Amino acid sequence: MIYRETGQFKTSYAADQQIFPIRQDRIGILLLLAVAFLVVPAVAGNYWFNAILIPFLIFSLAALGLNILTGYAGQLSLGSAAFMAVGAYAAYNFQVRIEGMPILLSFILAGLTAAGVGILFGLPSLRIKGFYLAVATLAAQFFIVWCLTKFPYLSNNSSSGVISVPNVEILGFTFDTPQSRYLLVLSIVAVLALLAKNMVRSTTGRAWMAVRDMDVAAEVIGIRLMRTKLLAFAVSSFYCGVAGALYAFCYLGSVEPDGFSLDLSFKILFMIIVGGVGSILGSFLGAAFILLLPIFLDIALPALSDLLGLPFGSATVSHIQLMVFGALIMFFLIVEPHGLARLWQIGKEKLRLWPFPH
């Protein structure tokens, strides 16, 4: 199929402002959703669900949250894992403390709780920018994890703050198979991704990007910096919070505060840097890259050692894995600082002209 918009004329602004203005893209995304909702559940095994697909979706959501804040609103944050922790623990508390609490409502409330905490830690952004703000959000990272360990109330008095979440149940249906949990996570992520896309293509998103690109000019055209930045913190933390709740309820089943360490925050930051800062698609590509590459190397390196007849020890393999991982991240940053999403965009632009580039 030739990818180009020739002959697809837009006769209204509504048609011109679609998320996917080119018909082939619309067909593509529908196909992708159909495969994700119908084909994958039928063919994938438990390993795929538990080790690859569910974490991929959850991290995509967290990366999406951080991308709203860092990519769109330009506020660097190192606290994403902490906001995930707030979401996870809030959802847990709503679930165990309120009898008959619907789980989806718990997720939403968890997101809102994270949003509130996000606003609180976003307040320094009104005075400081860039690296200094990143350091301020680092405070969120350490403070929240410390709180969750320090106050047993938050983990329902369990030892060392570990929480084991109950099964997810909606209207009598228990999500106890990996397949059903995958579908639940996929639905939530798909809806939230659509909402995020709508926000960033509207006045809300334009205000975020205006603040990111030139805050003085944004102020002069009437954008309120404080409100815009705090809204970005709130929405971003909401997404991270829901991701955290899903992380606990649909992926791990039991989490501890130390699981939401600075390492995790960095991992999410790498996802958006590699995937594409300021791109919804980039959040997904970045999450896939950062999650799948280690798994791929895990499989590929032993196979390679067999092929070359060099007996790698398992320690060597894990060292090489780290080195290759780091090297690839640097490679991507040098070759395409705007991330995988930009590569995808360039590819599409090339494809539009192919095979007659002149």
Partner 1 sequence: MARQIGEVILDLRNISLSFGGVKALTDISFDVREHEIRAIIGPNGAGKSSMLNVINGVYHPQQGEIVFRGEHRKDMDTHAMAAAGIARTFQNIALFKGMSVLDNLMAGRNLKMKCSFLQHALWWGPARREELAHRRKVEEVIDFLEIEHIRKTPVGRLPYGLQKRVELGRALAAEPSMLLLDEPMAGMNVEEKQDMCRFILDVNDQFGTTIVLIEHDMGVVMDISDRVVVLDYGRKIGDGAPDDVKNNPEVIAAYLGTQH
Residues that bind partner 1 (CB under 8 A): 13-14, 17, 195-196, 198-199, 202-207, 209-210, 212-214, 216-224, 231, 235, 278
Question: CA angle 243-19-39, nearest 5°?
Answer: 60
Judged by CB, which is closer to partner 1: 23, or 149?
23
Judged by CB, which is closer to partner 1: 109, or 291?
109
Q: What CA–CA distances, in Å, run from 176 to 4, 51, 146, 243?
A: 44, 16, 31, 19
Quote the crossing angle between the two packed helices 80-97 and 54-66, to the nearest 10°. Answer: 120
Judged by CB, which is closer to partner 1: 12, or 157?
12
Judged by CB, which is closer to partner 1: 104, or 327?
104
* Contact present, 260 and 84 (Cβ < 8 Å): yes
Beta bridge partners of 164: 254
**Shortest distance in whole angstroms from residue 195 CB to partner 1:** 4
**Shortest distance in whole angstroms from residue 104 CB to partner 1:** 17
The widest CA-to-CA distance across the chain, in whole angstroms, is 69
For the chain, give percent helix, strand, coil, nearest 5: 75, 5, 20
**Shortest distance in whole angstroms from residue 11 CB to partner 1:** 13
**Shortest distance in whole angstroms from residue 56 CB to partner 1:** 23
* Contact present, 64 and 193 (Cβ < 8 Å): yes
* Contact present, 92 and 163 (Cβ < 8 Å): yes
Beta bridge partners of 255: 163
**Which amino acid belongs to residue 69?**
L
**Shortest distance in whole angstroms from residue 26 CB to partner 1:** 16
Judged by CB, which is closer to partner 1: 43, or 216?
216
Judged by CB, which is closer to partner 1: 239, or 247?
239
**Shortest distance in whole angstroms from residue 225 CB to partner 1:** 9
**Shortest distance in whole angstroms from residue 35 CB to partner 1:** 25
- Specify the length of the chain in residues: 358
d(CA 246, CA 99): 20
Judged by CB, which is closer to partner 1: 175, or 238?
238
**CA torsion angle 193 3 53 302 (round to 10):** -140
| Cis, peptide link before residue 178, omega less than 30° from 0 | no
Beta bridge partners of 163: 255
Judged by CB, which is closer to partner 1: 31, or 195?
195
**Shortest distance in whole angstroms from residue 134 CB to partner 1:** 20
**Which amino acid belongs to residue 15?**
A
DSSP code of residue 22: S
